[in-house]
């Protein structure tokens, strides 16, 4: 018991490496995670949100494997043709590329935030938001094409199992709502950054916003893999 819980009171925040560090953090009388409250809370929220998306995707897999009607082939459904032959998954590839790129600009915004460069931080965040808005716009285009041209509805679809439309609109819609909320969140924080609201409190909020944004991107990778590639 040489190294008991109380001893850490005098040694300050423990940055011991590895498992010992974790044990020190969890047994000490200080913040369990060396991060601001808002960031800790965002992590816990994202953990909860992960369970929401996991349930959606698990439900989708269950529905897809239990339906007795043919599941439409995503390569054909999500193909676009530019003049000539249809190119499978081209739109979704562009959308994915845009969303991943937005994660890059977000990471740069976080970096600029910690350097205290207000103008660059805000503009990078606004660029990220613009990428997000483009993503949502292209999703709207995809929805329109499916609904108007292909006749897919949440309750039916001419290509096979009615659950295809149901799951597609529900999951991409829920994800699209996350992206839209993220865009609003980014714009709000960017405006406050520009106004200088965080000069005193620090720019952790940019990183917290970034956590949410990267999470939304990461979820998209899973939706992409399970819905479009399967």
Partner 1 sequence: MAYVAIADRDHHLHDPQTFITKYIYSQDHKVIAIQYGLTAIFVGLIAMALSVLMRLQLGFPETFSVITPEEYYQYVTLHGMIMVIYLLTALFLGGFGNYLIPLMCGSRDMVFPFMNMLSFWVYLLSVLILLSSFFVPGGPTGAGWTLYPPQAIAPGTPGIGAGIVLMLLSLAVFIVAFTMGGLNYVTTVLQARCKGMTLMRMPLSIWGIFVATILGLLAFPALLVAAIMMLLDQAIGTSFFLPSMLTMGEESVQSGGSPILFQHLFWFFGHPEVYIVALPAFGMVSDVLATHARKNIFGYRMMVWAIVAIGALSFIVWAHHMYVSGMNPYFGFFFATTTLIIAVPTALKVYNWVLTLWKGDLHLTVPMLFAIGFIFTFTHGGLTGLFLGNVTVDLPLSDTYFVVGHFHMVMGVSPVLVLFAAIYHWYPKMTGRMYNEMLGRWHFWLTLLGTYSIYLPMHYLGFLGVPRRYYANGVTDFMPDSVQNANAGITIAALVVAATTLIFVFNMIWSLFRGEKADGNPWGGTTLEWQTPQTPPVHGNWGDKLPEVHRWAYDFSVPGEKQDFIPQTEPPHEGVVAGREHGVHH
**Contact footprint for partner 1 (CB under 8 A):** 1, 4-6, 9, 12-13, 26-34, 37-38, 40-41, 44-45, 47-49, 51-52, 54-56, 59, 62-63, 66-69, 154-155, 161-163, 165-167, 170, 174
**Smallest distance from partner 1 to CB 181, Å:** 13
Q: Which is nearer to partner 1, 31 or 86 (CB)?
A: 31
Q: Which is nearer to partner 1, 82 or 155 (CB)?
A: 155
**Smallest distance from partner 1 to CB 35, Å:** 8
Q: Which is nearer to partner 1, 97 or 144 (CB)?
A: 144
Q: Which is nearer to partner 1, 174 or 224 (CB)?
A: 174
**Smallest distance from partner 1 to CB 50, Å:** 8
Query: Closest Cα partner for 230 from 5, 78, 99, 3?
Result: 78
**Smallest distance from partner 1 to CB 149, Å:** 20
**Smallest distance from partner 1 to CB 211, Å:** 14
Q: Which is nearer to partner 1, 169 or 224 (CB)?
A: 169
């Amino acid at each position: 018991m040489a190294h008991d819980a109380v001893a850490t009171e005098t040694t300050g925040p423990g940055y011991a490496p590895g498992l010992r560090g974790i044990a020190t953090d969890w047994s000490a009388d200080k913040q369990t995670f060396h991060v601001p409250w808002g960031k800790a809370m965002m992590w816990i929220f994202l953990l909860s949100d992960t369970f929401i998306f996991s349930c959606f995707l698990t439900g989708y897999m269950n529905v897809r494997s239990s339906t007795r009607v043919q599941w439409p082939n995503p390569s054909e459904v999500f193909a676009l043709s530019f003049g000539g032959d249809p190119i499978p998954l081209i739109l979704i590839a562009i959308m994915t590329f845009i969303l991943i790129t937005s994660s890059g600009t977000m990471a740069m915004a976080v970096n600029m935030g910690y350097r205290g460069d207000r103008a660059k931080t805000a503009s990078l965040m606004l660029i990220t938001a613009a990428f997000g808005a483009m993503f949502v716009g292209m999703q709207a285009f995809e929805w329109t094409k499916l609904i108007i041209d292909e006749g897919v509805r949440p309750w039916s679809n001419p290509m096979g199992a009615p659950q295809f439309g149901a799951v597609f609109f529900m999951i991409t819609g829920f994800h699209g709502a996350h992206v839209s909320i993220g865009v609003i969140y980014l714009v709000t924080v960017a405006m406050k950054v520009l106004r200088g609201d965080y000069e005193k409190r620090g720019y952790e909020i940019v990183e917290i916003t970034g956590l949410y944004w990267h999470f939304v991107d990461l979820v998209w990778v899973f939706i992409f893999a399970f819905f479009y590639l399967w």
